[in-house]
Amino acid sequence: SGPPTSKLTFLTNGGLDSVLHLLRLGGSPPLLHQSVRLLHLLCATLDAVVPVLVESNGLVPLLVSLLAWCVRCDGTRGGRTFPKGPAREDLLVEVCRCMFAVGKRFPRYLEGGTGERYEALTQLGVLVVDCLNWEGERTRRGKGEIVKLLMVMPGSFAPFLAANGCVGRLIEHMEWGMEREC
């Protein structure tokens, strides 16, 4: 099996590139879900892999674009059509978990920045507002992951959420969670 550095070398010398290429090209939601799950596990367990993914490979903008597709798109990706449903919600959940892992271990990667990452984080704020305004029981799981993601987002998100009427939605979601636990 070898020392951890040899595993990281394998990942950074092509293994990660293959997964990221697959995410950029598109595919079915279950395939994208499993690819993001792999990135999530790596980000949650290997500190050395996060800077490689974020700084060299644009992980944050890539995850935000996947999240945008899950939330807003008509279901067409890579020339194929995938209706909204459980598979897309699973992908949304895993994207949020991956971003949480990045933010928990390296908060600086979810704090503004410049260029593409700044634009992605701005778009993320708008997507969070959209998700918090979802209605219906089926969307509770996705909302729950969005709320968890907010726990690692910078404090600058709070005024944006307040200005967009999300405080009440956050309280409603927390009340719903409390009722389910009791």
**109-161, pLDDT tens digit by residue?**
888 777 788 888 889 999 999 888 887 665 778 888 998 999 999 888 889 99
Label residue 115 exposed, middle or buried (CB < 10 Å: 0-12, 13-18, 19+).
Answer: exposed
Among 5-9, 134-138, 177-181, the range of highest mean pLDDT:
177-181
pTM for the model:
0.83
The residues near 82 (Cβ < 8 Å, ≥ 6 apart) are 28, 29, 75, 76, 88
For residue 132, the model assigns a pLDDT of 86
For residue 163, the model assigns a pLDDT of 94
Q: How far apart are CA 103 and CA 54, in angstroms?
A: 11
For residue 1, the model assigns a pLDDT of 45
pLDDT bucket at 162, cuts 50 / 70 / 90: very high
User: Regarding predicted confidence, which is higher, 107 or 5?
Assistant: 107
Q: How far apart are CA 168 and CA 41, in angstroms?
A: 33
Q: Is there a contact between 141 and 85 (Cβ–Cβ < 8 Å)? A: no
DSSP 66-135: HHHHHHH--SEETTEE--SSHHHHHHHHHHHHHHHHHHHH-GGGGS--SHHHHHHHHHHHHHHHHHHT--
pLDDT, tens digit (0-9, with 9 covering 90-100), for 8-30: 555 555 667 778 877 887 777 78
Q: What share of the chain is helix, strand, coil (3-state, %, to 5)?
A: 75, 0, 20
Q: What angle do CA 48, 51, 55 make, to 5 degrees?
A: 155
For residue 2, the model assigns a pLDDT of 47
User: Regarding predicted confidence, which is higher, 177 or 81?
Assistant: 177
State the virtual CA torsion across 130, 94, 63, 156 in degrees, nearest 10: 50
Report residue 123 as tokens.
């778009």
For residue 159, the model assigns a pLDDT of 92
CA distances from 64 to 2, 58, 134, 175 (A): 34, 10, 18, 28
For residue 7, the model assigns a pLDDT of 53
User: What mean pLDDT value characterizes the chain?
Assistant: 81
pLDDT, tens digit (0-9, with 9 covering 90-100), for 79-102: 656 666 777 788 899 999 999 999
